[in-house]
Structure 1
Amino acid sequence: MVLATDQKKQIIEKYKLHEGDTGSPEVQIAILTERI
């Protein structure tokens, strides 16, 4: 299942560590977990 762009943005906003953060482990795990 592919996440919609707005879903992905919401996840990033919730788990980011700093402004512009899209690659931290926390963000990546949250995105992968949502996809599962």
Structure 2
Amino acid sequence: MSRIPLPYSPKVLELFRNPKNAGAMEDATVSATAGSP
């Protein structure tokens, strides 16, 4: 049985699992919340 290839590259999966620009910032002037409705 052959595997179905994923539509995402290994780099995209790595950044999804370990985001680089996420988290709290010191001295932030705005805040936002995102998500599914």
User: Could you say which TM-score interval applies, normalised by the shorter chain?
Assistant: under 0.3
Give the TM-score of the pair, scaled to structure 1. 0.28
Give the TM-score of the pair, scaled to structure 2. 0.27
- Which structure's residues are more often helix, by fraction? 1
